Chain A
Amino acid sequence: MNLSGDPHLVSITRRHFFSRCSLGLGSIALASLLDPQRLRAATSSGAHPLAPKTGHLTGRARNVIYLFMAGGPSQLELFDYKPRLAALNGQIIPDSYLEGKRFAFMDSSFKNKSTLLGSKRQFRAYGQSGMYVSELFPHTARIVDDVTFIRTCATDVFNHAPAKLFMNTGSSQFGRPSMGAWITYGIGSEADNLPGFVVLQSGPRGPRGGAVNWGSGFLPTSFQGVPLRAQGEPILNLTTPEGLNAERQRRAISAINDLNLQRLIATGDPEIATRIAAYEMAYRMQTSAPEAMDLKGESDATLKLYGADRDKPSFARNCLLARRLVERGVRFVQLYHTNWDSHGGPGENLEDDFEKVCHDVDEGQAALVTDLKARGLLDETLVVWGGEFGRTPMGESREKTGRNHHIEAFTMWLAGGGVKAGFVHGETDELGFGPVNDRVHVHDLHATVLHLLGVDHERLTFRFQGRDFRLTDVAGNVVHRILA
């Protein structure tokens, strides 16, 4: 915790210390040698940066599970059904669509940018709500009645790393806090033995930009996302060093905390109380993180629902882990899955490669919504699904068929946490190029997610380099129409 940055906290902690002092902190110290519980009680108040806090408003959602489809999935192959585009396949897109627009790879592979490409995928309306989903997402098609589709998402930047940053931090510049960091900064976390913001990854490679996507930027590092790894140690340095057992670790931590407590008494510095609390939390995490990651206790039926294996890393397994993490109070869980970058090159075509990545995620993501609902957790858990941008209605020919990056309109979906069930927001033009109404910019999406958590995006600020920064920069409107 950055106490020096929070005068209020400093004064509370100091007051606390001095009131303790007058009661005789020395006796507490002695008692704590025998009773770690009392030590914790004596040092924890005001010392947890991640202690749960109330937002500005009454929130509908408590936790968020964000399924980040890294690379930018093609909305035209999955959700945005465009028969007219298929009819115009191979024709030239009217200039009026392209005027003033910029695209990636303008100088090289995106030369025949003006040729329209119809989707070869079959679409059907599903559920009571009759929402269109393509054949590539048979499982997802079954949960449409619990989901809001936003077909008119828009972003500002068309290259992967900056666009991922933009989707996560509201800025394409490095060094800004990510949404999970803002949220845990704003309302803390209810998990007292796990990090408040956890990241899980699957797919052939890490997301572009790496750790900055879940970084805390200029916020204290307490708020940055902690990657839990699918295999081996779930958290860096979580395992007690070789040759030491839990008992010896406990013994060492007790000695560290007792000596730190003596120093706290000698110096009166509340930062030492925070450090004692941090060591206790670290110790608890050593047990609780592996426990959270261990699927031994999950029934075969549950594993089957997700299509997950107890030990083999996969997106589906991460979905199940995400449920376990929010059950344990983790505020923000973000899953990354690669690779959705369907340009048409090797490993990236809209044919078999695309089918594979769809298959990777379909069953797990549908199961997550189904499972959360069955356990009564969907109301308080907001599930967000989407990439950093979408794909162009125009085709791109590399080795096979593909589409280029597209920022004008793409589909994301949300479920639970106070959003409407079985609802479609926004409509794109007949080619799926741009929105004809209800455009939802990244800043609007951020404002809405914060709103659902009970946080006013204009009031969640942090002063840095002379300016009050927000997740939503100077923009963002809550999309009230999708709220249940």
Chain B
Amino acid sequence: MSAWKWSIALMGFGAAAAGATADYLNEVKPLLTQHCVGCHGADQQKGGLRLDTAGAARTGGDSGPALIPGNPGDSLLLQLIEGTHAVLPQMPYRRVPLPKVHVEALRRWIAQGAEAPADEPSGRWVHWAFVPPRRPAIPPMEETGGRHPNPIDAFIAARLREEALPLSLEADRSTLLRRLHLDLTGLPPSPEQLDAFLRDPRPEAYECRVDELLHSPHYGERWGRWWLDVARYADSNGYSIDAPRSMWLWRDWVIQAFNDNKPFDEFVIEQIAGDLLPDATLAQRIATGFHRNTQINEEGGIDPEQFRVESIIDRVNTTGTAFLGITLGCAQCHDHKFDPISQKEYFQLFAFFNDQEEPTLSVPTPEEKARLENHQAAVRNLEQQLAELESAADEDAEKARGKLREQLEKLKRRKPSVTTTLVLAERSEPRESYVFIKGDFTRRGPDVSPGTPAVLHPLAAALHAGDRGTGDELQSTRRPNRLDLARWLVDPCNPLTARVLINRVWQQYFGRGLVETENDFGTQGSLPSHPELLDWLATEWLARDWNLRAMHRLIVTSRTYRQTSRARRELEEKDPLNRLLARQNRLRLDAEVIRDVALVASGKLNPEIGGPGVFPPQPDGVMNLGQVRRPWKTSEEGDRYRRGLYTFYWRATPYPALAVFDAPDAFSTCTRRARSNTPLQALTLLNDSAFVEVAVALAERVRKACDDAGERLDLAFRLCLAREPSAAERGRLESLLEEENRDHGEAAAWQTVARVLLNLDETITRE
């Protein structure tokens, strides 16, 4: 059994039972490995002592047992680490003493009896996530209904069998269709789509919907937004001044990349280093906007170098979180306290991102191009006229030249503006990079050059890949650049990237990743609930050449995904947090999708894709909250009803209806949105003029569509919830309608019904 598998096997399901051993594996072993095993392990046994297993520690070395279970005070190990021993020097010898948290973890472990697994192998120990995934065997599974079993279900069911739990039944077809539409496109199904699906007798009806939706242009919007969170995308510069920026071309590039099903390794490489690809296309240069989504500080009196450094630090930390799922940021001021990342290695990564310029790329639209060409022609024309007059020396010619020069100046100043986007470009001369002492950019430590952490796979393969066909294959001593880093990130040997990313895809579908700490796969992160499934998914993705659409299809066609989300009594005792997935989870919709659902229900949605940010109605006074009052000219006509992801996002004064539903703040990378549930959300859905406007439109829509009150209720219900109301629900709505009709008339009554429906928990939830 490999080391990591062994550690997983020990992870009992009941947290209490596994408490003591979990402490050893999660807290004690990593710190002994990091601080002690170098001198007291398989390679060296200074003082005759080994600390690579708990058993060896108990046996001890020349000075006797290193620890006495249950008695931390008399344990040599603790005395030496704390430096309280009368004779022997403090450990680690001549190095920085262990942090207090580590000492306390050790003390707790010894006090609790120093328990450790009996079959602990000796030798070098590596945290599971730093060992590349190996393809696990698929557990056996019975065929169901003649369908080929989905390997996902095999893994999930195998784990559930250990708890004697069956999977839940499939959700009813309306729930299933709404879930699928919302998950793949962020838009609910229309009543027509619902009817067509409910009437479709084919056994593969569901799979057909999956394929259609995965090829819908709205798929790119839904999953593009998922990536915008990671990229900390916004339409303004942030900090206090928060000037607007033009970045939507990059956002549209992301949407297009998803719709093109760009293999994910290319997707990553182009964003990190598209500009360095041979014969980089315009699109590949636009892609490097990923790391230009950092904030820009324009406050008076600042030290610009400080904020250039801040943005690079953000790029390093974001790269760590987004692709590697490790908390690199912890190594900015000191060596990482828990994971094997040194401060020097942090600044080696920093060096990759320190060699860039940060230009603004002009990308004129065809109309802009035409305008630009006209302007250039006019300039050329004037210049030619000037040249023709050049030789003449009389007074009239001088006068004419003066006039022409003036015109030319004026014309040049009126150069038509064109669409721009922020990109990265490599400097001709690399900057020198240093370790910053305690992370402070004013305190330079030793020089560093670009490099990757030693605990992960070597950079060499990426370097060779970069040199292939150039004749320089053997000169891998050249200075690595951002492109090498990008290739290293998606190198098949990388133990982290595929696992981390597929885990976050999984999280979108179930509300929680297989590794719950989706941004920390390090030793402080949680262990995977289904380690084999995680590795199977990661290896499967690579085997399918990073085809993300294929992975989506695999997940959403699984029985696991298709289960009902209803609570089950026996699960409340055995698995209250539903980690084992014996049912689906109800998930509150993302902020943007809450808007989209209301727009679709009312028939107001403008489904146009891409383009500059738009300004839907928002309450008065929002823009007063920033330091600089920014404009908000409410969009009219079509742009008023665009999808939520196109709403112009000011970092300092974000659109309130998005912020209140936990849209990320775009200050740093966001790999998992919060799902809060607050009175301010209720006030937004009840009273915000944008939602009231939509409710009025929904009321009009159902009143126009049919005459019968019952039919209208059914239609309104289906528009919001994609299902029929129950008798009780219908009864409650009918009594509301009656009261309102009596007091305020028919039109008003239907508006109230529409408001109620748009406010329902179920309307803003994916069941």
Chain A interface (Cβ < 8 Å from any Cβ of B)? 1-5, 7, 10-11, 14-15, 17-18, 49, 102, 104-106, 108, 110, 159-161, 173-175, 195, 205-212, 215, 218, 220-222, 226-227, 229, 232-233, 235-241, 243, 248-249, 251-253, 255-256, 258-260, 262-263, 266-269, 271-272, 274-275, 278-279, 281-282, 285-286, 405, 465-467
Among B303, B627, B680, B729, the residue within 8 A (CB) of A161 is: B627
Q: Is the pair A252, B755 in contact by a Cβ cutoff of 8 Å? A: yes
Contacts of A2 in B (CB 8 A): 674-676
Q: How far is the CA of A108 from the CA of B517 in the complex (A)?
A: 46
Q: How far is the CA of A40 from the CA of B626 in the complex (A)?
A: 37
Q: Is the pair B240, A208 in contact by a Cβ cutoff of 8 Å? A: yes
Given A4-B512, A252-B752, also A210-B678 (CB < 8 A): no
> Can you spell out 13 A-B residue pairs with CB atoms less than 8 angstroms apart?
A1-B676, A104-B301, A174-B239, A174-B668, A222-B676, A248-B752, A251-B736, A252-B755, A260-B761, A278-B682, A282-B679, A282-B680, A282-B682
Q: Is the pair A206, B627 in contact by a Cβ cutoff of 8 Å? A: yes
Q: Is the pair A105, B566 in contact by a Cβ cutoff of 8 Å? A: no
Q: Is the pair B565, A466 in contact by a Cβ cutoff of 8 Å? A: no
Among B238, B674, B732, the residue within 8 A (CB) of A220 is: B674
Contacts of B519 in A (CB 8 A): 465-466
Q: Is the pair B761, A465 in contact by a Cβ cutoff of 8 Å? A: no
Contacts of A220 in B (CB 8 A): 674, 676
Binary per-residue interface labels of chain B (697-740) against chain A in the complex, 1 for a CB within 8 Å, 0 otherwise: 00000000000000000000000000000101100110010011
Shortest distance in angstroms between A81's beta carbon and chain B's nearest beta carbon? Answer: 28
Shortest distance in angstroms between A162's beta carbon and chain B's nearest beta carbon? Answer: 8
B639 at interface, CB cutoff 8 A = no
Closest A-B pairs by Cβ, 8 of them? A268-B567, A466-B520, A161-B240, A174-B667, A104-B301, A282-B682, A466-B327, A208-B240
Among A108, A236, A237, A251, the residue within 8 A (CB) of B739 is: A251
Among A11, A205, A222, A260, the residue within 8 A (CB) of B760 is: A260
B550 at interface, CB cutoff 8 A = no
Q: How far is the CA of A39 from the CA of B683 in the complex (A)?
A: 20
Contacts of B660 in A (CB 8 A): 221
Given A208-B299, A268-B566, A465-B519, also A237-B627 (CB < 8 A): no
B494 at interface, CB cutoff 8 A = no
Q: Is the pair A206, B625 in contact by a Cβ cutoff of 8 Å? A: yes
Q: How far is the CA of A266 from the CA of B306 in the complex (A)?
A: 55
Q: How far is the CA of A159 from the CA of B627 in the complex (A)?
A: 14
B525 at interface, CB cutoff 8 A = yes
Contacts of B679 in A (CB 8 A): 195, 278-279, 281-282, 285
Contacts of A207 in B (CB 8 A): 627
Q: Is the pair A236, B240 in contact by a Cβ cutoff of 8 Å? A: no
- Tell me which of B354-362, B380-388, B397-405, B685-693 binds A: B685-693
- Tell me which of B34-42, B102-110, B614-622 binds A: B614-622
Contacts of A205 in B (CB 8 A): 627, 629
Q: Is the pair B732, A259 in contact by a Cβ cutoff of 8 Å? A: yes
> Total A-B pairs in contact (CB under 8 Å)?
234
Which residue in chain B gives the minimum CB-CB distance to A265? B728
- Tell me which of B179-187, B190-198, B215-223, B569-577 binds A: B569-577
Shortest distance in angstroms between A46's beta carbon and chain B's nearest beta carbon? Answer: 13
B759 at interface, CB cutoff 8 A = yes
Given A174-B238, A211-B653, A215-B665, also A263-B761 (CB < 8 A): yes
Contacts of B327 in A (CB 8 A): 465-467
Shortest distance in angstroms between B523's beta carbon and chain A's nearest beta carbon? Answer: 9
Contacts of B654 in A (CB 8 A): 211
Given A175-B668, A252-B752, also A210-B683 (CB < 8 A): no
Chain B interface (Cβ < 8 Å from any Cβ of A)? 238-240, 242, 295, 297, 299-303, 321, 326-327, 329-330, 442, 511-512, 517, 519-520, 522, 524-525, 565-567, 569, 572, 576-577, 586, 588, 619-622, 624-627, 629, 652-654, 656, 659-660, 662, 665, 667-668, 674-684, 686-689, 692, 726, 728-729, 732-733, 736, 739-740, 743-744, 748, 752, 755-756, 759-762, 767
Q: How far is the CA of A57 from the CA of B682 in the complex (A)?
A: 35
Q: How far is the CA of A285 from the CA of B239 in the complex (A)?
A: 32
Among A49, A209, A278, the residue within 8 A (CB) of B652 is: A209
Q: How far is the CA of A248 from the CA of B353 in the complex (A)?
A: 58
Q: Is the pair B240, A221 in contact by a Cβ cutoff of 8 Å? A: no
Q: How far is the CA of A258 from the CA of B732 in the complex (A)?
A: 8
Shortest distance in angstroms between A340's beta carbon and chain B's nearest beta carbon? Answer: 14
Given A175-B665, A260-B760, also A267-B624 (CB < 8 A): no
Given A278-B681, A466-B525, also A256-B756 (CB < 8 A): yes
Among A10, A108, A110, the residue within 8 A (CB) of B577 is: A10
Q: Is the pair A105, B627 in contact by a Cβ cutoff of 8 Å? A: no
Q: Is the pair B572, A14 in contact by a Cβ cutoff of 8 Å? A: yes
Contacts of A226 in B (CB 8 A): 680
Given A4-B511, A260-B761, also A275-B577 (CB < 8 A): no
Contacts of B300 in A (CB 8 A): 104-105
Q: How far is the CA of A278 from the CA of B759 in the complex (A)?
A: 12
Q: Is the pair B566, A252 in contact by a Cβ cutoff of 8 Å? A: no
Q: Is the pair A233, B756 in contact by a Cβ cutoff of 8 Å? A: no
Q: How far is the CA of A257 from the CA of B302 in the complex (A)?
A: 52
Among B299, B625, B692, the residue within 8 A (CB) of A211 is: B625
Contacts of B748 in A (CB 8 A): 243
Among A3, A235, A267, the residue within 8 A (CB) of B565 is: A267
Q: Is the pair B759, A237 in contact by a Cβ cutoff of 8 Å? A: no
Q: Is the pair A159, B761 in contact by a Cβ cutoff of 8 Å? A: no
Apart from A175-B665, A210-B625, what are 12 other A-B pairs with CB-CB below 8 Å?
A: A2-B676, A104-B302, A195-B679, A208-B299, A222-B678, A237-B656, A240-B687, A271-B677, A275-B677, A279-B686, A282-B683, A286-B683
Q: How far is the CA of A239 from the CA of B683 in the complex (A)?
A: 8
Q: Is the pair A159, B302 in contact by a Cβ cutoff of 8 Å? A: yes
Q: How far is the CA of A199 from the CA of B511 in the complex (A)?
A: 33
Contacts of B678 in A (CB 8 A): 1, 49, 221-222, 278
Contacts of A278 in B (CB 8 A): 677-679, 681-682
Q: Is the pair A266, B299 in contact by a Cβ cutoff of 8 Å? A: no
Which residue in chain B gives the minimum CB-CB distance to A221? B676
Contacts of A210 in B (CB 8 A): 240, 242, 625-627, 652-653
Contacts of B687 in A (CB 8 A): 237-241
Q: How far is the CA of A269 from the CA of B756 in the complex (A)?
A: 20
Q: How far is the CA of A221 from the CA of B659 in the complex (A)?
A: 9
Among B301, B525, B622, B677, the residue within 8 A (CB) of A274 is: B677
Q: How far is the CA of A238 from the CA of B760 in the complex (A)?
A: 19
Given A18-B572, A252-B686, A466-B517, also A211-B761 (CB < 8 A): no
Shortest distance in angstroms between B581's beta carbon and chain A's nearest beta carbon? Answer: 14
Q: Is the pair B755, A267 in contact by a Cβ cutoff of 8 Å? A: no
Among A5, A222, A251, A285, the residue within 8 A (CB) of B683 is: A285
Q: How far is the CA of A258 from the CA of B238 in the complex (A)?
A: 42
Which residue in chain A gives the minimum CB-CB distance to B99? A474
Given A251-B740, A269-B567, also A237-B520 (CB < 8 A): no
Contacts of A105 in B (CB 8 A): 300-301
Given A174-B667, A210-B652, A221-B662, also A160-B756 (CB < 8 A): no
Q: How far is the CA of A256 from the CA of B683 in the complex (A)?
A: 13
Shortest distance in angstroms between B342's beta carbon and chain A's nearest beta carbon? Answer: 17
Q: Is the pair A174, B295 in contact by a Cβ cutoff of 8 Å? A: yes
Shortest distance in angstroms between A306's beta carbon and chain B's nearest beta carbon? Answer: 24
Shortest distance in angstroms between A284's beta carbon and chain B's nearest beta carbon? Answer: 8
Q: How far is the CA of A279 from the CA of B756 in the complex (A)?
A: 12
Q: How far is the CA of A267 from the CA of B760 in the complex (A)?
A: 14
Q: How far is the CA of A161 from the CA of B760 in the complex (A)?
A: 39
Q: How far is the CA of A391 from the CA of B442 in the complex (A)?
A: 23
Contacts of A237 in B (CB 8 A): 619, 656, 680, 683-684, 686-688
Contacts of A258 in B (CB 8 A): 732
Q: How far is the CA of A5 from the CA of B519 in the complex (A)?
A: 14
Contacts of B668 in A (CB 8 A): 173-175
Among B520, B572, B759, the residue within 8 A (CB) of A15 is: B572
Q: How far is the CA of A160 from the CA of B732 in the complex (A)?
A: 55
